[in-house]
Amino acid sequence: MERANDSTFPGFILLGFSGRPHLETVLLVVILITYLLSFLGNGTIILLSILEPRLHTPMYFFLSNLSFTDLCLTTCTVPQALVNFKGKDKTISYGGCVTQLFIVLGLGGGECILLSVMAYDRYAAVCRPLHYMVIMHPWLCLQLVATAWLTGFGNSVVQTALTMTLPLCGKNQVDHFFCEVPVMLKLACTNTSINEAESFAVSVFFLVVPLSLILVSYGHITRAVLMIKSAQGRRKAFGTCSSHLLVVISFYGTLISTYLQPPSSYSQDVNKSMALIYTLVTPLLNPLIYTLRNKEVKVALKRLAGRTIASRKS
């Protein structure tokens, strides 16, 4: 039985939306514009977090890491999809597919944990404001981010190896626009029940557990905010957390609908639509939500723009 890593394996064909060529033309334009806006937005947040001293806080340290993760995730999947949508050649090499799968799994898992870390940060800021800087000291922030990255890519090594060593018996048509675990399992010509069970267990760890921690954090936050007597104070406290909650809903919602069900029950059109949301739409929403709803970011952006204009005039 031919395996994907055989030297004679020709690579994979990413079908994408090839059955609907007119849709591919529209998606090419929409995805390109969305990707450029996402790249600009996330790049701006990273730049502001580095250059603006007032943003050298735990919240913006985590936010810049989230932006970097989203930037890498879109860059890993979108350019290949654009190339496939544009031309007739929709192939991706075996090495390219492995790389895509590894990076998407690593970044996706890391982002799941990072979002729960950000929820804990908001809990400490709202519920323990007097001890916030003691709790969220720089060394702890660095450790939390490192844990998110190491856990995500540690899992990715195992998941990628288990998925890409399955026998394919010559099957190489991937009904997706990038290499993802559920669609790769569907190519296998052997019983994948063990792989599916393992993938489900990992998904519970990376999706259900962090989401539960986030909900617990926001339960405590809500209780603390409701105890604030000032209506303005309540609005300000809720405002600091609503942005993060919007990101959580869009990101976890699409991932749960994709990974917490057996591959045999997937509707591929729905699956591909969900994938577009968490690899493209959510990374675009992050900078929009955090910049449009956050006065500190808008002030920092104006200050940076002012310094840039002043330096050019001088």
Domains of the chain: 12-313 (1.20.1070.10)
pTM of the model: 0.88
Alpha helices in the chain (DSSP H): 21-51, 58-86, 94-127, 132-135, 138-164, 181-187, 193-203, 209-226, 231-259, 268-276, 282-292, 295-313
Q: Residue 134: left if φ>0, alpha if ψ -120 to 50, beta else—which one? A: alpha
Confirm if 117 and 216 have CB atoms less than 8 A apart: no
Say what the pLDDT of residue 272 is.
81
Say what the pLDDT of residue 225 is.
80
Return d(Cα 174, Cα 297) in angstroms, integer. Answer: 41
- Beta strand pairing call for 173-174 and 12-14: parallel
Say what the pLDDT of residue 8 is.
58
User: 28-39: b or e for each residue (b if 16 or more CB lie within 10 Å)?
Assistant: beebbebbeebb
C-alpha radius of gyration, the chain, whole number:
21
Residue type for position 218? Y
Sign of CA pseudo-dihedral 104, 106, 112, 117: negative
Return d(Cα 221, Cα 236) in angstroms, integer. Answer: 12
The parts of the chain modelled with pLDDT lower than 50 are 1-2
Say what the pLDDT of residue 1 is.
43
